[in-house]
Amino acid sequence: MLNFFLSFLIIRWWKRTGLEEKLSFARDRLVENFLCTVGTNFNPNLEYYRKVITKVNSLITIIDDVYDVYGTLEELELFTEAIDRWDLNGMDSLPDYMKICFEALYNFVNEFAFEIENKSGYYSTPQLKKVWTSLCKAFLIEAKWYHGGYTPSFEEYLENAWISISSHVIFTHGYFLIPHSFKMEDLVCLEENSNIIRFSAMISRLANDLGTHKNHIVPLLSDDQRKSRPLFGRVGFSRFEMWGLWYESKHFPSLVFNGQLHITRLVFGGH
């Protein structure tokens, strides 16, 4: 009964955003995003977590399609600038479909930050704005590569792709969703995208690319490069790095950390 009510709340929010109706070119993956969220954190007491992360994943999917499928390069640059300014007054230069998208994201983040501040007293808007801005900037880089006919090196691609997979966005929201006391050292790890975030995002990105590389707008490697160079050769982790991951995991609540690992497992297992 609780899950049914939760589903109703999410669907009602989705309808109110107007994204499904006005952005018909984008994927409507609300159900899939909800089921994925249930798979990453299925604790019965975390219904609020599942509601918020479902919204996060749905917004990521929509924005990804704006950059990958529909927007012109000029429009995407304007949209990225609007996200960076984080001001509703900056929407005037955007086309109508982008105004709807920006307003949906802006309202969601501000409402979520307000709820977090009411519960914990912590003002989380700067961190939330930063991760969404970095995601859109990563999407824009990929769009520029595509429109310019540019094929990046593997290292250049991965430096951007671990951000565009959006794991850090989900992780940051998850951190503020789990009841715990916020510590400055934890927030520094979030701010600097510590290795526990970065490396798990790399794994998710590479696993995702294994299943989608033939349809990706920017080829990861040419056929000759793929034959002569192992795909995972440059992203192996040393014992020192693995120890660092274990140490950094202590900065985050186990539910947040485990949720991130579950996301990585789901992506990797799906391909």
Question: 152 phi and psi, to 5 degrees?
Answer: -75, 160
Section 33-55 average pLDDT = 84
DSSP string covering 12-41:
HHHHHHTHHHH-TTS---HHHHHHHHHHH-
**3-state DSSP percent of the chain in helix, strand and coil, to 5:** 75, 0, 25
Per-residue model confidence (pLDDT) at position 207: 80
Lowest mean pLDDT among 2-6, 55-59, 201-205, 236-240: 236-240
Section 163-191 average pLDDT = 80
33 and 58 in contact (C-beta within 8 Å)? yes
0.85 exceeded by the pTM? no
Indicate if the pLDDT at residue 257 is higher than 60: no
Q: Using 50, 70 and 90 to split pLDDT, how confident is the model at 180?
A: low
Cα separation, 271 vs 262, in Å, equals 14
Per-residue model confidence (pLDDT) at position 111: 96
**At residue 164, what is the residue type?**
S
Q: What is the pLDDT of residues 69-115, one digit of tens each?
A: 899 999 999 999 999 999 988 788 999 999 999 999 999 999 999 99
Using the structure block, give the residue that is written with the tokens 């994943």. 57
